[in-house]
Amino acid sequence: MSINWFYFSDTNADPGEIKSLLNKKQFSLVSTNQLANIHKDLSGYDQSVLFLKANSVFNVYELCQEISVRYPHVYIILIVPDNMENLKKAMHMGASDVLRFSYTTDEVKETIIQAIKYMEHRADKDRSGSFLKEKSRVITVSSPKGGVGRTSLTVNLALSLAKTERKVAVVDGNIQFGDIAMHFNEKPKRTIYEWVKEAYGRSNYTIDQYMVHHASGVSIFAAPPRPEFFEGITENHLKAAIEEMKKQFDVVLIDMPGYLSEIHMSCLDLADDILLVLTNNLPEIRTSKLYLETLEAINLQDKVKVIVNKSLKKQGVEEKKMEEILGTAIYLSIPDQGKVAAAAISTGIPFVLSNPRNPMSRSVFQLSEKLYKEEGSETVPTRKRVKRKFLMST
């Protein structure tokens, strides 16, 4: 496909290996330090990617915001100084991706590949019309045990799906003690509690009025501000909320708590996919085995996809052994990058934004791609037949 690549630097800095890497992929790069030329070029082409580096004449963030508003079709790659605050600012100003000043060759390669994938996806969407509007997809992210990175995975999966131009909603299913808004560094003024009180059953209110709209495009349906407020929220309320979101969003992700109630069973029932998150520690595998058996008892086992998070090679139970114990195949493993994950939570910048080329981020992008590659197939996913083993107490 034809993609138009542009590079703007107000100091006329040489694009260097950005240009050479694009040339290797048979793309040409137009480089300029004249803003008038960029406006002329961007207005004339739909499939455009812009590398934007400005640190002298222009404020790069204000320029990014201006371009993103004026040319919403442009995929902007902002080149910024090497600190987290600037990455966060770039995200709020409409950047599609970010490179630090000290970028490596591999990081540029990953950035180019991501831009190409995005453009290809958008071209497919333009050819086929409205994408995923006839059937929205509901995905629950579940685990019977806390501390496995369930909420972090939900947040970063939402952002990786949003990067493919899908409309994504995130529901905080931990109605009593949920904190998913904190992972986005958001403080919601309205939550599910206000929606139940003011809008449930009333057609003159829309659910997106009660959602937080993050700069990435992800919309968040937050948990109540006080734990005691959960008592007024029922299974019917949450079911109605999800059904309404399905009319507006391509994907509805539900971050489940570590326990099951009637409310959460209805979420699992509505789900197209149940991502069961665990680590390769034996106690968590045992608990997850019981969780799988519970889902099997209510005929939901075919929806389950097992995700091994915080995976460390040569530590814990090996994947083959895990599959034997669980009686099902592992869908995907995400490597352990504890410091990166902790920094993402403390700063409120999810790691797929702050460290998109980190192995953990790559795995989450891979997960989002794999989920939708399978959707195009007419075949029903089958569970891997492995020899079942029972765990004995010692």
Tens digit of each residue's pLDDT (9 = 90 or more) over 125-146: 665 554 444 478 999 999 998 8
Last residue of a domain, one of 106, 128, 150: 128
CA 73, CA 48: separation in Å to the nearest integer? 7
Asked if 115 and 21 sit in the same domain, the reply is: yes
Count: domains in the chain: 2
Asked if 171 and 90 sit in the same domain, the reply is: no
Asked if 144 and 74 sit in the same domain, the reply is: no
Q: What is the pLDDT of residues 201-222, one digit of tens each?
A: 887 788 989 999 998 889 999 9
Asked if 330 and 234 sit in the same domain, the reply is: yes
CA terminus-to-terminus distance, the chain: 60
Asked if 116 and 222 sit in the same domain, the reply is: no
- Whether 16 maps to a domain, the answer reads yes
Last residue of a domain, one of 75, 100, 128: 128
- Whether 389 maps to a domain, the answer reads no
* Strand spans (E) along the chain: 4-9, 29-32, 48-53, 75-80, 97-100, 137-142, 168-172, 212-213, 219-221, 251-255, 273-278, 304-311, 330-335
Lowest mean pLDDT among 139-148, 347-356, 357-366: 347-356
- Whether 384 maps to a domain, the answer reads no
The yes-or-no verdict on residue 352 having pLDDT over 60 is: yes
- Whether 379 maps to a domain, the answer reads no
Asked if 221 and 350 sit in the same domain, the reply is: yes
Q: Which amino acid is at 108?
A: V
The yes-or-no verdict on residue 305 having pLDDT over 80 is: yes
- CATH number of the domain enclosing 117: 3.40.50.2300
**Does the global pTM surpass 0.85?**
no
Asked if 241 and 314 sit in the same domain, the reply is: yes
- Averaged confidence pLDDT in the chain: 85
Beta strand 219-221 pairing with 212-213: antiparallel
Question: How many CB atoms are closer than 10 A to CB 7?
Answer: 24
Asked if 145 and 174 sit in the same domain, the reply is: yes
The yes-or-no verdict on residue 8 having pLDDT over 90 is: yes
Asked if 118 and 166 sit in the same domain, the reply is: no
Q: Which domain holds residue 79?
A: 4-128
For residue 314, the model assigns a pLDDT of 67
Asked if 142 and 248 sit in the same domain, the reply is: yes
Q: What is the mean pLDDT of residues 162-184?
A: 91
* DSSP 3-state of 212: strand
